[in-house]
């Protein structure tokens, strides 16, 4: 039997097409142009790149949307001064102490021409004095509005207490109650600066010698200067003479105020007279030790070091109305009568304030 289509393949395809319901079917080669079989290695590499790109887009979206959380360990990378939030977890007192130690080790602190070290004063000296001020003596202050917030002024105060704690408490009152934390630059006697340790701390806390030259330099710089004209006569007077002002000298402090034109502010302190009630003194021992007096109190020297603990009396410090000096002529400082009159005016103002406060006090220990 003859097979007419075996010798012609094309005729064979046409016959198959005619056998499918009479419809002509188009045959598309499996691996025709554009439909080559993909290379498995190339396809895998392409899929990997697409997966990496998709993951990177997803990570970017997450970084934009997610909140930034800084890990504690990251704070150590940057210096402390450029990252203040790093130390917020530490107590304020510890941060201050660490900053003080850092400045001491690096030498990053300043001392003025008189030896005053403000950072050391505020970090080491004021805190224990403030504890005495607030907890032991429970000081009440009056007339703080009479203290200037800027510019110079001369504060003149009564002096008492066997040891000059009244000067230290007045310095705390000025620093803590005047806006800006101003420092009281006290004028001290020569003896203060001759005692090895005491003299060094006195300089660093802002004290200087009680002489007109230093007082005028400080006042011209706009400082608050404190002076206690009674001197050792005031703090060393017997208990029977308490709150009776001693002589104010020749008015050197008035001359300094007149030359610089700053106001004089009378200051009266109640409570210091009773912290070490002085019953007498040992003059021979005072001469041997080079002291102006060696006190005898109800507890010292009988109780030894315990006798040096001050009694917890209730204090008050009053800053009186300023006495102006800028209204006088430049040559007024050469008028001895004017100097004497102003000196007596300041002294009388302090004495009257003491009497007034004493009349209102009900108890030495309760105020």
Mean pLDDT value across residues 120-131: 95
Alpha helices in the chain (DSSP H): 9-19, 40-65, 92-106, 118-120, 126-131, 165-177, 190-194, 196-204, 212-220, 231-235, 252-260, 283-289, 336-360
The pLDDT tens digits of the residues spanning 172-225 come to 999 999 999 999 999 999 999 988 889 999 999 999 999 999 999 999 999 999
Sign, Cα dihedral of 348, 352, 357, 358? positive
The pTM of this model reads 0.74
Nearest residue to 275 via CA among 129, 132, 125: 132
Structure tokens at 257: 């105020």
Which pLDDT score is estimated for 195? 87
If pLDDT is split at 50, 70 and 90, which confidence band does 57 have? confident
Beta-carbon contacts of residue 229 (< 8 Å; ≥ 6 apart) = 156, 159, 248, 249, 253, 347
If pLDDT is split at 50, 70 and 90, which confidence band does 12 have? very low
34 inside domain: no
Question: How many residues comprise the chain?
Answer: 367
- Secondary-structure breakdown of the chain: helix, strand, coil percentages, each rounded to the nearest 5: 50, 10, 40
80-82-83 Cα angle (round to 5): 65
Three-state SS for 250-292 is CCHHHHHHHHHCCCEEEEEEECHHHCCCCCEECHHHHHHHCCC
Which pLDDT score is estimated for 61? 61
95 inside domain: no
333 inside domain: yes
Q: What is the DSSP letter of 64?
A: H
Which pLDDT score is estimated for 104? 81
* Total structural domains within the chain: 1
**CATH number of the CATH domain containing 319:** 3.40.1130.10
159 inside domain: yes
What spatial distance separates the first Cα and last Cα of the chain, rounded to whole Å?
144
pLDDT of 24 above 90 = no
Alpha helices in 117-268 (DSSP H): 118-120, 126-131, 165-177, 190-194, 196-204, 212-220, 231-235, 252-260
Q: What are phi and psi of 88, to 5 degrees?
A: -70, -20
Mean pLDDT value across residues 14-40: 50
The pLDDT tens digits of the residues spanning 263-296 come to 999 999 999 999 999 999 999 999 999 999 999 9
Mean pLDDT value across residues 46-71: 61
Structure tokens at 271: 């409570």
73 inside domain: no
Asked if 192 and 198 touch (Cβ cutoff 8 Å), the reply is yes
The pLDDT tens digits of the residues spanning 301-351 come to 999 999 999 999 999 999 999 999 999 998 999 999 999 999 999 999 999
The parent domain of residue 263 ranges over 117-275+310-360
11 inside domain: no
pLDDT > 70: percent of the chain: 76
79 inside domain: no
pLDDT of 7 above 70 = no
- Beta strand 295-296 with 140-142 is unpaired
44 inside domain: no
226-230-236 Cα angle (round to 5): 115
pLDDT of 171 above 80 = yes
Average pLDDT, rounded, for the chain: 84
> What are the CB-based long-range contacts (under 8 Å, 24+) for 23-28?
none
């Amino acid at each position: 039997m003859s097979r007419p289509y075996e010798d012609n393949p094309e005729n064979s395809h046409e016959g198959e097409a005619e056998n499918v319901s009479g419809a002509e079917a188009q045959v598309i080669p499996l691996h025709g142009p554009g439909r080559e079989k993909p290379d498995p290695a190339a396809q895998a590499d392409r899929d990997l790149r697409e997966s990496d790109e998709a993951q990177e887009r997803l990570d970017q979206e997450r970084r934009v949307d997610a909140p930034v959380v800084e890990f504690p360990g990251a704070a150590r990378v940057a210096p402390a001064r450029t990252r203040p939030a790093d130390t917020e977890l530490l107590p304020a007192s510890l941060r201050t102490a660490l900053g003080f130690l850092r400045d001491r080790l690096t030498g990053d602190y300043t001392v003025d021409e008189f030896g005053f070290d403000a950072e050391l004063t505020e970090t080491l000296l004021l805190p224990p004095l403030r504890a005495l001020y607030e907890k032991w003596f429970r000081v009440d202050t009056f007339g703080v509005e009479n203290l200037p917030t800027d510019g110079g002024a001369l504060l003149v105060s009564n002096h008492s207490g066997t040891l000059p704690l009244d000067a230290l408490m007045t310095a705390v009152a000025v620093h803590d109650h005047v806006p800006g934390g101003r420092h009281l630059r006290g004028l001290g006697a020569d003896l203060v600066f001759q005692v090895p340790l005491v003299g060094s701390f006195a300089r660093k806390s802002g004290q200087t010698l009680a002489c007109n030259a230093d007082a005028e330099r400080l006042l011209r710089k706009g400082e608050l200067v404190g002076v206690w004209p009674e001197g050792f006569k005031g703090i060393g007077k017997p208990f029977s003479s308490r709150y009776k002002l001693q002589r104010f000298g020749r008015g050197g402090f008035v001359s300094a105020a007149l030359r610089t034109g700053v106001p004089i502010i009378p200051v009266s302190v109640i409570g210091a007279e009773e912290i070490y009630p002085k019953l007498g003194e040992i003059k021979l021992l005072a001469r041997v030790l080079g002291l102006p007096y060696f006190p005898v109190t109800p507890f010292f020297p009988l109780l030894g070091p315990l006798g040096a603990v001050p009694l917890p009396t209730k204090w008050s410090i009053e800053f009186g109305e300023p006495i102006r000096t800028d209204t006088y002529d430049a040559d007024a400082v050469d008028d001895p009568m004017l100097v004497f009159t102003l000196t007596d005016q300041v002294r009388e103002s302090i004495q009257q304030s003491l009497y007034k406060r004493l009349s209102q006090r009900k108890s030495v220990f309760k105020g």
